[in-house]
Amino acid sequence: MGILGDHIFLSRLQFGFMALFHILWPVLSIGLSLFIFTMEALYLKLGDSRYYRQARFWTRIFLLNFGIGVASGIPLEFAFGTNWAPFSRVAGDLIGSTLGFEAAMAFMLEAGFIGIMAFGWERTRPGTHLFATGMVGLGASLSSFWIMAANAWMQAPAGWRWLDGRLVIDSFSRAVFNPDTAAAALHMWFAAMMTTCLVVGGVSAWYILRARAPALFNLSFRWAVGVLIVVAPVQIFLGDVSGRGVAERQWVKLAAMEAHWRTNLPGAGAPFVVLAWPDMAARMNRLALEVPDGLSLLVTHSLTGEVRGLEGVASQDMPPVRLTFFAFRLMILSGVLTLFLSLWSALCWLRGGLGLERLMARRGLLRAWICAMPLGYIGVETGWITRETGRQPWLVQDLFRTADGASRLPAETVLSSLVLYGLVYGIILAAFAVFMVRLLRAGPQK
């Protein structure tokens, strides 16, 4: 039959494609709304017009980003009823409730105040406008929380029982605040802040290198550096916390992330595989570069701690190891490079400050920030791939399989809709690029 004739694979591919495209936009909306709020608050406090110009300039970028995020996210909601109807019937109590809260509590909060944020600068009192901007930022963060709560429940289900073939929620609080929610929500929020820092800093560096309003963008560049110095190490710490949670509750996913095939013997540590070519048929790694005892140290904080391997996992319960392994490595690489950039920037700041004159002489640092703009997006995308592919073959961990959750649609129907979504999203991305180039060329208001 082949993969193009497999409706389950195509439904997974379609939802994954739509989710990976959609997530590009909310991560910037979350952090950028808080940045704009900060700039506007500083303007009201200090009366410095540079902060006002910053807020107005980045608001235009935020609105473009927000609009595409809304447009690309709506089809995901419908996909639960079209491509994943059995899953919606079985797990709809929790998934429907959390997505409903996301829409009613978070999206409506953003929608209710974004008009004032966009068009109310000269039409409302300054304090009212600042409040509206803050509500948009709060709504964006709340939206992230509810989405992560729903996904965390799929990773670590709690507060449930089976009733007539359905997963019924006995305790909504236990389900929402399941063992994975806190770490997942914080990790996602800090990923959004990291992405925003890299975008704001990179765009600011581009303007400074071109000597366009350099004094203005020196403000936003220093904001990006200051926040990233805090966010980057915290994000790596949260990644460690998340990894230890995976080790406790989803050991098969952890083994796939690390391409760890054999449980280490007592008294011997498990090696950390820096890079390899996982061979799923032979259940071993080819051309492996390893750090002895490294995986035991990372997972158990002991050189000889036990880390279970994939060797005894049945084929039908095996996640796609190669994809999970390489996605996880790319996520780690993006985080390490971002940390290096933050440390380099901090060192430059300590050695002479990031005042405009000194900063314009550090052209290598400015170019590095421009090149680093995609790192946050790479980390978010590969992080989601790791999180979702590593859980396979389960939609709800150990309770409900992915194959049982897909609607029985003709493969050609799913394939045609996948192609159509690809074309539409491609047009949306091209339109975004055109309008973004126009905004950057126009620059801030005088």
Q: Are 55 and 43 in contact (CB under 8 A)?
A: yes
Altogether, the residues listed in the chain come to a count of 446
- Distance, CA of 311 to CA of 240 (rounded, Å): 25
With both helix axes pointing from N to C terminus, report the angle between 126-155 and 108-119 in degrees, rounded to the nearest 10: 150
Q: Are 379 and 194 in contact (CB under 8 A)?
A: yes
pLDDT score recorded for residue 312: 86
Pairing outcome for strands 400-401 and 160-163: unpaired
- Distance, CA of 148 to CA of 143 (rounded, Å): 9
Give buried/exposed letters for 323-340 (b at 16+ CB in 10 A, else e): bbbbbbbbbbebbebbbe
DSSP letter at 286 equals E
Please give the helix or strand (H or E) that residue 166 lies within, else none.
strand 166-169
Q: What is the largest CA-CA distance in the chain?
A: 71
Backbone angles phi, psi at 277, to 5 degrees: -115, 95
Q: Are 219 and 246 in contact (CB under 8 A)?
A: no
Structure tokens at 422: 């690809």
Query: Residue 101, Cβ neighbours under 10 Å: how many?
Result: 18
Please list the residues that pair with 286 across neighbouring strands: 277
Backbone angles phi, psi at 217, to 5 degrees: -80, -10
Please list the residues that pair with 167 across neighbouring strands: 162
Provide block-wise average pLDDT over 10 residues at a time, the chain (446 residues). Answer: 79 95 95 96 94 95 94 89 93 91 90 93 93 96 95 95 92 95 96 97 96 93 96 95 93 95 91 93 92 92 91 92 96 96 94 86 94 97 96 94 94 94 95 95 85
Ramachandran assignment for 209, one of left (phi > 0), alpha (psi -120 to 50 degrees), beta (any other): alpha
Q: Are 24 and 212 in contact (CB under 8 A)?
A: no
Cβ-based neighbours of 321, under 8 Å, separated by 6 or more: 256, 259, 278, 280, 310
Q: Are 206 and 261 in contact (CB under 8 A)?
A: no
Q: Are 205 and 221 in contact (CB under 8 A)?
A: yes
pTM for this predicted structure: 0.94
- Distance, CA of 51 to CA of 28 (rounded, Å): 20
Query: Residue 129, Cβ neighbours under 10 Å: how many?
Result: 21
- Distance, CA of 265 to CA of 293 (rounded, Å): 12
Segments in 23-107 forming alpha helices (H): 26-46, 49-82, 85-101
Q: Are 238 and 264 in contact (CB under 8 A)?
A: no
Q: Are 304 and 268 in contact (CB under 8 A)?
A: yes
Structure tokens at 81: 């009823």
Q: Are 56 and 445 in contact (CB under 8 A)?
A: yes
Q: Are 15 and 419 in contact (CB under 8 A)?
A: no
pLDDT score recorded for residue 2: 67
Pairing outcome for strands 400-401 and 394-396: antiparallel
User: What's the gap between Cα 316 and its chain centre?
Assistant: 28
pLDDT score recorded for residue 1: 55
